Amino acid sequence: MLLAPALAWAQDSPSSYGDDITQIDALVISASRGDAIREGDLGASVTLISPQQMEERGTRIVSDILRDVPGVAVNRGGPVGQFDEVRLRGGEGNHTLVLIDGVDASDPFQGEFDFSTLTADDGARIEVLRGQQSSLYGSQAIGGVIAYITATGAETPGLSGRFEGGTDDTMVAAVRQAGVTGGLDYALSGSGFTTGGQPGAIGGVRDMSYANYTLAGKAGLTLSDTTRLKAVVRYSDVRTDDLAEDFATDPFTFQPVNPATYGRFIDGTGEITNRALIGMVRGEADFLDGHLKTAVSVQGNDTERRVYDLGALSYGSDGTRGRASVEATYRFGGQDSAQSLTLAIDDKRETYQNVAVGTPGPGNDKHVLGNIGYVAEYEGLLGGHLGIGGAVRHDQNNRFKNADTYRAQVSYSLDNGLRMRAATGTGLTAPTNFELFGFDPTSFVGNPNLRPETSRGWEAGLDYSPASHRYAFGLTWFDSELKDEIFTAFLPGFLSTPQNRARVSTQRGAEVWASVRLTGSLNGYATWTRMKAQEGAGQPEIRRPDNMGSVNLTWRPDTARTSATLTVRYTGQFRDFDFTNTNAFPSPRRVMPAFTLVNLTVSHKLQGKAEILIRVDNLADEHYHEQYTARSLGRSAVVGVRKGF
């Protein structure tokens, strides 16, 4: 299923996203199941990241640039390649719906997307839509939607290649061929990212190596003035060394074998492989002189994950997801009252299975989850100033109780550049397969009686963008409540199992952004998020900082060939589990110190569409930890060349 009618083939060119993130005329295509909505008409918060910004900040792992988005917390369990979670507005990783060219890319078994598997494509752009969006997309979209959109052949045509090499034996290579031939728009690409890595455990000596190979294709065929056929496919093959945790205990005394390392990350001997194939086919047809737009689409996701130790399989998982959708959008009203009504039906089927190690048992049974969702959505722009919208969705599930979700939003713009906006909505996230059925009866026991998590929230904001375009800023307040939050309960005998919380959890905060043209050649963009995410009993949620912020300064003279971007990213204090005490149940939480990362990217254009790139990450060689006792990446640098033909 393609979840928005043009999500993989936006009608706007990359230039509509402008030189910064503040272009209110840019179209947001993940914000509707019907027509794309202008950013300046949305009541919900959205951040757009352009292809130019991706290159200016030297983005290679996509999650890194998401640290510059208000309300987004990124947590990587060690160096590059370790599991990489992205949380929106205090939610969990599986509360974020991730779409790659319109395809739901999350692991069907784990229920969330591992961002360590997504490297940046040339010409790609990102939309980060915050707030409850389950009325459009169903399960997972409690915190919002991250839509990663690769370029079409018309947007970025031609043959191009890129190669980079640097510290830690890092190599990055990519090639892309795209264009338009008659009625066919196509783009084909391949990339590889490998690194020898750095140690991932405090005091460890094992470098955590990582390799990511990706192939992608995208095509659109215009059959007539009113019919179109579109397709997308993406395959990724990722391998990374596995960072181990020491939970070895004496079988008689249950005391740690090595008290000095118990509960801590240590050098391991394993590796993880993750292979994912996603794809989608979509047909569109217009009727009634273009007033009625219809679409039928199917999509699939086949993801397998394996964990090996000394070459032998330790455990693994297989997950598949298939979706079929029918959508119809009717446009009506005049130029000053453009309106649309969209109806959609989504039929989804997911399968999950633990991979047998040795003799298969009941824990290796295949499980199936089916869901049918019915969507009705209205969007309107009245008088050129008032944007209003709303959606309702009814989900029928074969395992859980049927659910209804909604959203409503309003935006009003004044002639002086001031815009007032508000949105409210509800969301839900179904339990994951391993939460329902477990993966190891000796350590983690599933709970088939879990209930879906449900959320209700609101936001209100002010944006100001004067006609001079010299500066702009925005402020948003948000408040959400999460019921039936799923958490891991630790039981005697070193067992754990998921349960629903009896009390309501809360996520509240404020997001600020500002953009300013300091001189004719120097632009600045800054964000800040103040957030408080608490569990039902008032305990702070783990790995969600109270304060986060970033500043990007880009020097780009109109006539010079050299440009540079300095990026400063601050992550405030947060809490994480401390498993080092075997006698503490549940495990206590440790306050993790704040850290600041400084990156520098410099590029110089040569003759003949060639460009030299220099990127230094963690310029100050900050020693920091995003998970307790896991060591994050130190200073690293790469030099590369990009060439267009």
Instruction: Work out how many domains the chain is built from and give that number.
Output: 1
| pLDDT of 288 | 96
CA angle at 383 for the pair 380 and 389, rounded to the nearest 5°: 20
DSSP letters spanning 218-256: EEEEE-SSSEEEEEEEEEEEEEEEEEEE---B-TTT--B
Judge whether residue 517 has pLDDT over 60: yes
pLDDT band at 357 (very low <50, low <70, confident <90, very high): confident
| pLDDT of 559 | 80
> Which of helix, strand or coil describes residue 34?
coil
pLDDT band at 488 (very low <50, low <70, confident <90, very high): confident
| pLDDT of 326 | 98
| pLDDT of 494 | 65
| pLDDT of 608 | 82
Q: What is the pTM of this model?
A: 0.94
| Cis bond upstream, residue 586 (ω within 30) | yes
- Residue 2 belongs to some domain of the structure: no
- Residue 403 belongs to some domain of the structure: yes
In the predicted model, what is the mean pLDDT of residues 80-90? 94
* More reliable by pLDDT, 268 or 364: 268
Q: How far apart are CA 70 and CA 340, in angstroms?
A: 30
Judge whether residue 150 has pLDDT over 60: yes
Find, among 41, 40, 65, the residue nearest to 124 by Cα. 65
In the structure encoding, which two tokens stand for residue 341, read together? 């009504």
| pLDDT of 49 | 96
Judge whether residue 479 has pLDDT over 80: yes
pLDDT band at 23 (very low <50, low <70, confident <90, very high): low
Q: How far apart are CA 578 and CA 496, in angstroms?
A: 15
Asked whether the beta carbons of 350 and 372 are under 8 A apart, the reply is no
- Residue 400 belongs to some domain of the structure: yes
Strands (DSSP E) found in 466-546: 471-483, 486-491, 495-500, 505-517, 522-534
In the predicted model, what is the mean pLDDT of residues 269-277? 96
Q: How far is CA 119 from each of CA 112, 113, 212, 460, rounded to the nearest angstrom?
A: 17, 13, 8, 33
| pLDDT of 554 | 96
pLDDT digits (tens, 9 = 90+) for 455-475: 999 999 999 999 888 999 999
In the structure encoding, which two tokens stand for residue 487, read together? 């958490």
| pLDDT of 585 | 67
Beta bridge partner(s), residue 459:
423, 478
| pLDDT of 4 | 39
| pLDDT of 643 | 87
Question: CATH code at 353?
Answer: 2.40.170.20
- Give alpha helix (H) positions in 35-103: 51-56, 62-66
Find, among 628, 602, 626, the residue nearest to 116 by Cα. 626
Give the residue numbers spanning the domain of 366: 14-644
Judge whether residue 477 has pLDDT over 70: yes
| pLDDT of 443 | 74
- Residue 8 belongs to some domain of the structure: no
* More reliable by pLDDT, 581 or 219: 219
In the predicted model, what is the mean pLDDT of residues 385-389? 95
- Residue 3 belongs to some domain of the structure: no
- Residue 195 belongs to some domain of the structure: yes
* More reliable by pLDDT, 438 or 514: 514
Give the containing element (helix H, strand E) for 437.
helix 433-437
Judge whether residue 17 has pLDDT over 50: no
pLDDT band at 16 (very low <50, low <70, confident <90, very high): very low
Q: How far apart are CA 119 and CA 138, in angstroms?
A: 26
- Residue 299 belongs to some domain of the structure: yes
Q: How far apart are CA 113 and CA 101, in angstroms?
A: 14
Report the percent of the chain where pLDDT is more than 90: 78
| pLDDT of 12 | 36
| pLDDT of 70 | 97
In the structure encoding, which two tokens stand for residue 251, read together? 């079988």
Report the percent of the chain where pLDDT is more than 70: 95
pLDDT digits (tens, 9 = 90+) for 583-622: 766 778 899 999 999 999 999 999 888 999 999 999 999 9
Judge whether residue 3 has pLDDT over 50: no
Asked whether the beta carbons of 511 and 529 are under 8 A apart, the reply is yes
In the predicted model, what is the mean pLDDT of residues 276-302? 97
Averaged confidence pLDDT in the chain: 91
Judge whether residue 572 has pLDDT over 60: yes
